[in-house]
Amino acid sequence: MRSVFTSCSDRALHIFDSLFHVDPVSLCLAFLVVPACVQAIQPGRAGRAAVLCVAALATVLGLSPAVQAVALGVIAAQDREACPAVWSVPALLLSVLFPAQTFLVLAVLPVLFWSALVRQPDEEKEGGAFPAVMGILGVSLVWHAPVSVPAELVAGLGAAVIALLGRSVLGACRPGDLGLLRPVLLMVLVVAAQAEGLAVCARIALEATLLDLSLLVLTAVLGRVFPALSVLRLPFPPLPGLVVLWLGIHAALGMAAGVEGWSVLGVVVALLLGLLSLSDILIVGRVLRAWQGTVPGTSVLFIGAASLLLPALVFGMASPVLHFISGEWVWPVWRMGGGDGASLRLPAFVLTGAILWCVLVRPWRVVGGIVQAASTLLPALGNLLSVGDGLFEEAPSLGWKMRSVIVAGRRRLRVLRNVKAPVLPDLRQGAVGLWLVLLGLVLAVLGVMA
């Protein structure tokens, strides 16, 4: 009786294994995706969030590329400003036919990030529809494509960042939330380090990825109630954004120390991470300015405490995942190792600073003095974050030759745009059905090829 039961459960586990990714990283991403879907809940339309959640889980956990493509299509169809179907449908279909190819991973990324990055951001809706979900899906896409070439992925991401920045400089418009691409870049490092057998380096990059993703999810869940939480992403010292930047740089250069061809690539990744942190400054400044409410001093103190404890909390909760990547484990309360011998003693640094600040302010003289003093910090930070305002206000004055080149390019683009794009029916209505039909087509092609 007992042996029958165990064999049944074994078989069930086997079936489960053959349908889903059950490695710890995928499970952790699935665990993160569920709260991220909270952002999609709107009054009266709870079904949308449920569909989004199920589709995101299917994308993260599903083993078959067809299921992933359908789920991605459903998610893209939920978004009002999604990527044009001319691009997304062929990209998803090809990703079913040739799963885990490098150029197809790069081709699917615009489907995810179109509404957050490419679309002209207007004032009332910031950062696309559900940026946290899209960030996690991008990470899981790279994690499920271990055969892809990391150098090409880094080059593609770098080219995308440069192109988006160049577009916003030349077009005098603000860039979108480029920081969404950072977890994807860090995940590329994880995959590359695992392929080269550098387990410590992979763990450091995974730590940075998970911390960045949890910051994204945290701002997505609580962002509507408490927009000041987005400050946590900034790369300035007490905040966890600095930990992400530092760990990312050291993971990239750890690759450079271990693998021959990564010297230049590691420096490029480090500079890209710096650039993405700068775009975070721009985004957070915009969020703080759009939010008119005053911030009480208690919440500033809360943010300070949270920023000290958050990395330790995230790494502690994700320790099974990190163990899976590499066995060596240190509880990083006082110091975070960079994997190459360097260590970041951020808590000691910040506590020294906090003691100095308290001595200078001397809040014990007045009742509630520390709260009062802390409440002046966030407006000052918002003041500092307004540095990026002037950068994208006006187009640069270029020479005549450059201008004529740009105008000619624009004319050519307009001609291209006038060519009738194939118009698909409104995808939001029959999203699942349409994608099932497309899936059937793909399966037919696969059957013919077999």
Partner 1 sequence: MGHEIGLILLSVLEALFQVGLLLVLAPVMGWCLDSLPLWLAGRSVGSVRFRLLQAARVWRALFQAPLGGRPAMALTAGVLTLVCLPTVTTGSALSSLADPLVVGLVVLLGRGFLGPGLVQGEGGRLVPAVLLLCLTEALIALAAPGTDGLSGLCAMLHIEPEPGLEGALAACALALGIACPPLRSDDVTQMLSGLQDRHEREATRSIADVLNCGWLLLLADLALPVSVGLAQGGVQGWWLGFLALGGRLALTVAVAVGLRLMAQERSARLTALFAGVALLLALAGRFGT
Minimum separation from the CB atom of position 171 to partner 1 (A): 19
From the list 261, 353, 430, 440, which residue makes contact with partner 1 (rule: CB under 8 A)? 353
Q: How far is CA 93 from CA 148, 411, 437, 443, in A?
A: 18, 31, 12, 10
Minimum separation from the CB atom of position 218 to partner 1 (A): 22
Q: How far is CA 117 from CA 37, 122, 174, 195, in A?
A: 19, 12, 10, 30
**Between residues 53 and 282, which has the closer beta carbon with respect to partner 1?**
282
Does residue 274 bind partner 1 (CB under 8 A)? yes
From the list 48, 340, 406, 436, which residue makes contact with partner 1 (rule: CB under 8 A)? 340
User: In this structure, are residues 175 and 282 in contact, taking their beta carbons and an 8 Å threshold?
Assistant: yes
Does residue 15 bind partner 1 (CB under 8 A)? no
Does residue 365 bind partner 1 (CB under 8 A)? yes
Q: Helices marked H in 223-329 — which ranges? A: 240-258, 262-290, 297-317, 319-325
44-83 footprint of partner 1 as x/- string (CB under 8 A): ----------------------------------------
State the amino acid at position 43 in one-letter form: P
Minimum separation from the CB atom of position 282 to partner 1 (A): 9
Long-range contacts of range 85-91, CB-CB < 8 Å, 24 or more positions apart?
85/422, 85/424, 85/427, 86/421, 86/422, 87/111, 89/424, 89/438
Provide the phi-psi class of 200: left if phi over 0, else alpha when psi is between -120 and 50, else beta: alpha
Does residue 142 bind partner 1 (CB under 8 A)? no
d(CA 112, CA 131): 9
CA 317 to centroid of chain Cα atoms: 19
Minimum separation from the CB atom of position 242 to partner 1 (A): 7
SS3 344: strand
Does residue 356 bind partner 1 (CB under 8 A)? yes
Does residue 344 bind partner 1 (CB under 8 A)? yes
Does residue 307 bind partner 1 (CB under 8 A)? no
Q: How many CA atoms lie within 13 A of 153 on its CB side?
A: 30
Does residue 277 bind partner 1 (CB under 8 A)? yes
Closest to 286 (Cα-Cα) out of 181, 382, 379, 170: 382
Does residue 362 bind partner 1 (CB under 8 A)? yes
Segment interacting with partner 1 (CB under 8 A) among 258-266, 288-296, 404-412, 428-436: 258-266
Does residue 270 bind partner 1 (CB under 8 A)? yes
The values of phi and psi at residue 131, to 5°, are -60, -35
Does residue 135 bind partner 1 (CB under 8 A)? no
Does residue 237 bind partner 1 (CB under 8 A)? yes
Does residue 240 bind partner 1 (CB under 8 A)? no
Question: Looking at residue 347, what DSSP letter applies?
Answer: H
Segment interacting with partner 1 (CB under 8 A) among 13-21, 107-115, 340-348, 411-419: 340-348
Minimum separation from the CB atom of position 300 to partner 1 (A): 9
The values of phi and psi at residue 62, to 5°, are -65, 135
Show the tokens assigned to 391. Answer: 């950068």
CB crowding 183-204: b at 16 or more within 10 Å, else e: bbbbbbbbbbbbebebebbbbb
Segment interacting with partner 1 (CB under 8 A) among 58-66, 233-241, 409-417, 420-428: 233-241
**Between residues 170 and 424, which has the closer beta carbon with respect to partner 1?**
170
369-388 footprint of partner 1 as x/- string (CB under 8 A): ---xxxxxx--xx-xx-xxx
- Which stretches of the chain bind partner 1, using CB under 8 A? 235-237, 242, 245-246, 249-250, 252-254, 256-257, 263-264, 266-267, 270-271, 273-275, 277-278, 281, 338, 340-346, 348-349, 352-353, 356-357, 360-363, 365, 372-377, 380-381, 383-384, 386-391
